[in-house]
Amino acid sequence: MDIIKKWMKHALKATTEFLKYRKSLYMIPLFFMIMAVLIVSVLYFLFQTDLFSDEPEEEAEYESIAIDFDQGSDVSFNGETIIIDPGHGGKDPGASSVSGQTEAEIVYSIAEKTEDILVSNGANVEFTRAQDEFASLDERKADGDLFISLHSDAMEDPSITGFTTFYTYDNQKEFAEMMNESLDKYSDFRNRGTNQSNFQVTWQLDYPATLIELGYLSNEIDERMMSSEDYQDLMAQAIAEGIYNYLN
Per-residue pLDDT tens for 132-142?
999 999 999 99
pLDDT digits (tens, 9 = 90+) for 42-78: 666 655 544 444 444 444 444 444 555 444 444 467 7
Q: Compute the average pLDDT of residues 207-221.
A: 96
Classify burial at 53, counting beta carbons within 10 Å of its beta carbon; exposed 0-12, middle 13-18, buried 19 or more.
Answer: exposed
3-state secondary structure of 165: strand
- d(CA 208, CA 16) in angstroms, rounded, equals 81
The mean-pLDDT minimum among 27-41, 162-176, 183-197 falls in: 27-41
CA-wise closest residue to 176 among 88, 243, 78, 222 = 243
The answer to whether the CB of 205 falls within 8 A of the CB of 240 is no
List, in sequence order, every residue forming a beta bridge with 92; answer none if it has no partner: 89
Q: Which domains does the chain have, with CATH numbers?
A: 2-48 (no CATH), 73-247 (3.40.630.40)
Q: What is the pTM of this model?
A: 0.71
**DSSP secondary structure letters along 14-57:** HHHHHHHH-HHHHHHHHHHHHHHHHHHHHHHHHHHTTTT-SS-G
pLDDT digits (tens, 9 = 90+) for 80-117: 999 999 999 999 988 987 778 899 999 999 999 999 99
How far is it between the farthest Cα atoms of the chain?
A: 104
The pLDDT value given to residue 25: 57
Secondary element (H or E) of residue 106:
helix 103-120
Alpha-carbon torsion 96, 125, 183, 192, what sign?
Answer: positive
